[in-house]
Amino acid sequence: MLEPTQFGTDSLPARGRLGELRLGTRWARGLAILFLPVLTALAGCGYEGTSADTKSVTLWIVNGAGSIDTNCAGCNSTNAEGRAVEQFVAKLAKGGDAPVTWSVSGGDATSGPGSMSATGGYTPPSYLTADAVQVVITASLDWDSSIAATSILTVTPGFLQPLTPENVAMGANGSVNITGFLAEAGGGTSIDFVVASSATGASGGLGQLNGTTCKRSSQVFTACTVTYFAPATVASTGNTYVVATVGSSPTRTATRVLLNTAGVMSSPATHEVQLANPMLLGSSGGNNNDYDRLRNRIVDCCSGTLGSLLRGSDNKQYVLSNNHVLARSDHAKVGDAIIQPGLIDNNCTPNGEGGSATPVGSLSGWLALGSSATNADAAIAQVASSVVDLTGSILEMGGRQPDGTLGAAPPGISSTAGKGEPAQLDLKVAKSGRTTGLTCASVTALYLDVNVDYYLDCAETEPYLSKTFTNQFAMSGDGFTDAGDSGALVVDSSNAEPVGLFFAGGTDMSGVSQAVANPVADVLSELNTQAGGGFTYTFAGAADHEVSCLNYGDSTTASVQALTLSDAETERAQQAMGLARTLVNPAAGILGVAMGKSNDHPGEAAVIVYVDESTVVNAPESVGGARTVVIPSDAREVASGAAPQTNAVSAFQAMTPSALSAAVAIKQQYAAMLMKQNPSFFGVGVGQSLDNPREAALVIYVDRKGPSAQMPSMVGGIRTRYIVMDRLHVTRAYSGAVQSRLHCMSHLGSDRPAGFDPPALTKASGARLN
């Protein structure tokens, strides 16, 4: 799961760590304006200006102000593909948009000026070789190209990717090196690091930093490293952050540090490196041929996680991961070499062409994404002799070692004979993946029907298909998954029994990771019937055991409650309060009402209904057209104004089996219709309402680029909960503030069988994590 990249053109970022040269393209808003051929006075404060010719035709370019970097913080628009752009508008002085042809010039001597769309959307170059460059945006009138307006803007380097590592756990007196990469080869730009109490903060937090050191070269991207030192004592387990900024750019990226009283030390870096034989699972890997070429040069690549080990009835062992990790989304060949680490961690250099990755197996079979008979994203590779640990041990799945690190351990299989167990709502689960290492979260949706996009190439320039998977399950938690974790095995944290195969995810508008997994029963069943050979498969493992869970929390409720309501929403809630007050009846268990905010629909006002915590009260789902947030409390708290303003996640109660069954029946009835009638709905499942956790809700995933106008508070008589995020691309992730791309250093690659490259691949691109 990661984003595509494009070498010096329109791009969305990828994530992870990538060898030497890395390129990225996201930038912040702004520009300075100059108008030609006849310069006139600037209008306003540098936001627009004019250019007039001798025929007294006046042309204006309208846009923001300032400068931009190669990231995109505060970009003013998105293009048709949902990628951030800085939108320019040309207008005639007498009113109306001007019919113009856009162009861009100047820029970096190596990476160029960036690109300009026909509609005035500007994307800066993906990297620079200097600390700052200037580009010239030109709008020429279609009926007379001699009449033109121009704007000059300054572009500076931004972050290439999130910090490495993105998350880390440690106890008292621990330390870790944290590295940031800039989208600049050469130059003298540096990164500023601070310890903070939040991912966007500039102060607070626990621990301290040493001085920053940077490595610069014209052949690699600038890397700046700082050492974080944990405090001498850790009183309680919680998060602190190392926040990085570049100059005056508003772009920020951070490493989340889980300071813990158990003294556990865990870093994802151990999952990304080349491992000694016999190799452990939960590590970086993928298909040796999973790269794109521009003519005879390798320009991007893809990688994911080698998740777990299966035993076949043929007495052979197989690595299990996703189709899109091992089988290149249906476009691989049986026998393809599967390598560790993946190409993304080896500068996109295949084994046999100078790369140091080790072949660990050969591709044996996969569940065809293009087939309507499949309902999982899975593939297997027969392991080479003595190369993979045959106990199925997975990195960090074991207990704490004397030095604080977590040992490797196989998944648990003693309760299910290697067949795994089903997911349940609020089940605490763990996964060990290439990018975020060992992390834990909770199951938040079951019976999820979800649409996922697949591409033919790593750069995501050639769509392959959109597939709707049915009856999947979803998990959510801060920093739970990210790009490169695809293929990781999801296990029950209480006994390490397999539960699911992670294959798609992203980050919602609250900054919380949303992850989707195939149930293991479906994976094994379909491999048994469709992977060829007529063999059956079970998980390799050992006795059930507890996983040393690393849970970075779930900030969903806190983030939603921090949102500022619009005036219209506030007015709507105020109007509903009149009717809500008539509900107050202590004898019936309704103690009071107040204005509040919905957790099920971020940004929407709600009426808080306080109910007697000692009894079960049937409160209405809405009052006067406003959602209700039902909070158990007592009369004294309500009377004194000390009652809480929202439900605490820790206080959530499990739904009864009958309530869950009723909700599943409603979901089965309405899911397909909702996704058909509302193109922005790309997933519908069943979970708990966050406004009233005693009740079920339809959990609906909504494309944040095109929210539907129809977002009802109830469907089929039950509540709805909306998760607003980018559509699921298995090659994308948005778990950090920096949505940048990784690029490998373009290099020669040997020829491969005809038909391998996606059709019409004309743009050089960057690396992708699956």
Q: Which domains does the chain show, CATH number per domain?
A: 32-156 (no CATH), 167-267 (2.60.40)
Q: What angle do CA 77, 78, 82 make, to 5 degrees?
A: 160
| Euclidean distance between CA atoms 258 and 494, whole angstroms | 20
Query: Residue 468's Cα: distance from chain center in Å?
Result: 19
Phi, psi of 605 (to 5 degrees): -70, 160
End-to-end CA distance of the chain: give it in Å, rounded.
3
How do residues 59-94 score in pLDDT, each as one tens digit?
888 876 578 888 776 667 777 766 778 889 999 877
Q: State the pLDDT at residue 65.
A: 54
Residue 449, number of CB atoms within 10 A of its CB = 20
559 close to 511: Cβ distance less than 8 angstroms = yes
CA dihedral over 368, 372, 373, 374, signed as positive or negative: positive
Instruction: Read off the tokens for 272.
Output: 């990304």
Q: State the pLDDT at residue 74.
A: 60
Instruction: Read off the tokens for 574.
Output: 């105020």
Residue 195, number of CB atoms within 10 A of its CB = 21
DSSP 656: P
| Euclidean distance between CA atoms 88 and 94, whole angstroms | 18
Q: State the pLDDT at residue 751.
A: 56
Percent helix, strand, coil in the chain (nearest 5)? Answer: 10, 40, 50
Pairing mode of beta strands 192-196, 358-366:
unpaired
| Euclidean distance between CA atoms 268 and 455, whole angstroms | 27
256 close to 435: Cβ distance less than 8 angstroms = no
Q: State the pLDDT at residue 18.
A: 30
Q: State the pLDDT at residue 56.
A: 54
Q: State the pLDDT at residue 706.
A: 76
At 55, is the secondary structure helix, strand, or coil? coil
DSSP 588: G
CA dihedral over 347, 351, 354, 355, signed as positive or negative: positive
The H or E element containing residue 529 is: helix 520-530
* Residue type at position 568: A
Residue 348: closest CA among 631, 14, 49, 87 = 14
Give pLDDT < 50 ranges for the chain.
1-54, 732-736, 743, 752-766
The residues, any chain, with a CB within 8 Å of residue 214's CB and separated by 6 or more, are 190, 191, 222, 223, 224, 225
Q: State the pLDDT at residue 416.
A: 98
The residues, any chain, with a CB within 8 Å of residue 271's CB and separated by 6 or more, are 282, 283, 284, 305, 395, 432, 433, 434, 435, 437
Residue 10: closest CA among 153, 94, 121, 95 = 121
Q: State the pLDDT at residue 616.
A: 87
Q: State the pLDDT at residue 382.
A: 97
The H or E element containing residue 735 is: none
How do residues 482-501 score in pLDDT, each as one tens digit?
889 999 999 999 999 999 99
Q: State the pLDDT at residue 35.
A: 33
